[in-house]
Structure 1
Amino acid sequence: MVVLVGVKMHNKEELWPIVAKLFGDNGYQGTAMRDIARALEMSEAHVTGLLGTRDEMLWHIVARVAGLFLTQARTVPRTISPAEQLHLLIYRHLEVVSQDREHVRVFLRDWIFLNEAHRQEIQAMRETYDAYFYRVIVAGIKEKAFRVPDSLLACLFVLSALQWTHQWFNASDVLTFTRLADQYSALVLNALGSDHIVPLDGAIDYLYQKEEQPD
């Protein structure tokens, strides 16, 4: 058995938030392997053996976040109205941001530094995710639930607004999160000309009662 002297043994899941914060604070390109090793109190060789190379670490973080966003979007049922679907899509997005802010920051900024194959894979996942919002907005326009002249521009507006939420969205507890998410959804829906009223307390409970299994 090989004993690593001076190296602290950790559960890998405890290490990823530290790596994500380093990438988030300094950027992927500004974070060297020695910086990661120092923060984790390990040798560079042990870090590589445990978490992989810097490229592999970036892929792990980015792919994890992309998967979380898609998983959340897939839970939104198509049996509720377009306005309710959009509200729930926004809520689900903010859940990921609230729970994994550092990871989301790396995902949004540093995914372009992935190798070509991984970059294409993430691009495809991003396009799939965007399509959930586009489909709902198009449906809302057809039903006259949203009053906007251009569905693509409306979709870009919503997604662009959501991309910046990791910079400021901070909820200390479930109640604060629900209120912030509901108010944010109400602002977006209002910007799209929707008459849908978002109850600012317990709105998600209301939607849960109407949910069925998504298609």
Structure 2
Amino acid sequence: MPAHSHTPAADGRAATRRPPKRRAEIIERSAALFDARGYHSASMEDIAAAVGIRKTTLYHYFRSKDEILACIHDEFLDLLIERQQRRAALGMRPDQLVLETMEDILELMETHRGHVRVFFEHHRELPPDAHEAISRKRKRYEEEVRATIRDGVEQGAFRPVDPGMATLALFGMCNWAYQWYDASGPLSARQIAHTFWDMLLRGIASRPDGR
């Protein structure tokens, strides 16, 4: 079924009145299904089967596959932003905040693997209104990370670097790790985050004493 095909709910607000637990289950199963089969290959009928409900029942919770896709993006960003803001309120040092930021992204590969793949591979498929809202939220999160690095430079914790470039370097290291990360491999997601963090803050050049 094409992504835009759906049976509209009788009331446009009906989805928001449905039990949040079942909606959360649908989002979770859909993310796993999109990870395993691809967003374009999975239909609303496939999603309903994965959740164990009839397709007609699924339409009571979500009006289209596009809407589920937007919810996966939204949920993923909410997880990152909530953790970032909670730690910032604790007054953690900039270097600690950078490490925690990297751990967030990499640990989600274990806890929300489907969300990670959908977020990085299927943002172009978002409908226009959702794409605009998600883009604003994404920029908000990126600015919070950039502000952390900027604070670190101002406080002397980091050497004078361009916070924007440093932020891009951080995301460049972490964002695509899901493509090669193996949960059964020798390093956990947290260990990889620590390795990346060390490389980002200290580089890979040897010290003058050869260590």
Mean Cα displacement is larger for which, 48-57 or 145-154?
145-154
2:181 and 2:160 mapped to 1: Cα distance? Answer: 27
Aligned to 2:145: 133
Change (3 A) 1:90 1:32: same
Equivalent of 2:69, from 58, 70, 76?
58
1:87 and 1:127 mapped to 2: Cα distance? Answer: 20
Equivalent of 1:43, from 30, 40, 54?
54
Task: Report how far residue 100 of structure 1 moved.
Answer: 0.8
Gaps of 5+ in 2: 1-20
Task: Report how far residue 112 of structure 1 moved.
Answer: 2.2
Q: Name the aligned partner's letter for residue 27 of structure 2.
A: W
Equivalent of 1:87, from 94, 99, 117?
99
1:141 and 1:192 mapped to 2: Cα distance? Answer: 20
Equivalent of 1:118, from 130, 136, 147?
130
Mean Cα displacement is larger for which, 27-36 or 65-74?
27-36
% identical aligned pairs: 25
Task: Report how far residue 102 of structure 1 moved.
Answer: 0.8
- Whether contact under 8 Å (1:18, 1:39) holds in the other structure is yes
Aligned to 1:97: 109
Task: Report how far residue 103 of structure 1 moved.
Answer: 1.2
2:92 and 2:79 mapped to 1: Cα distance? Answer: 22
Q: Name the aligned partner's letter for residue 66 of structure 2.
A: D
Aligned to 1:76: 87
Aligned to 1:18: 29
1:17 and 1:161 mapped to 2: Cα distance? Answer: 26
Q: Name the aligned partner's letter for residue 121 of structure 1.
A: A
Q: How many residue pairs align between the two structures?
A: 183
2:39 and 2:111 mapped to 1: Cα distance? Answer: 21
- With normalisation by structure 1, the TM-score equals 0.70
- Whether contact under 8 Å (2:109, 2:189) holds in the other structure is no
Aligned to 1:199: none
**Are 2:121 and 1:109 equivalent residues in the alignment?**
yes
SS of residue matched to 2:122: helix
- With normalisation by structure 2, the TM-score equals 0.71
Q: CA RMSD in A?
A: 3.0
Task: Report how far residue 150 of structure 1 moved.
Answer: 3.0
Task: Report how far residue 179 of structure 1 moved.
Answer: 3.4
SS of residue matched to 1:18: helix
Equivalent of 2:39, from 23, 28, 49?
28
SS of residue matched to 1:75: helix
Aligned to 1:150: 162
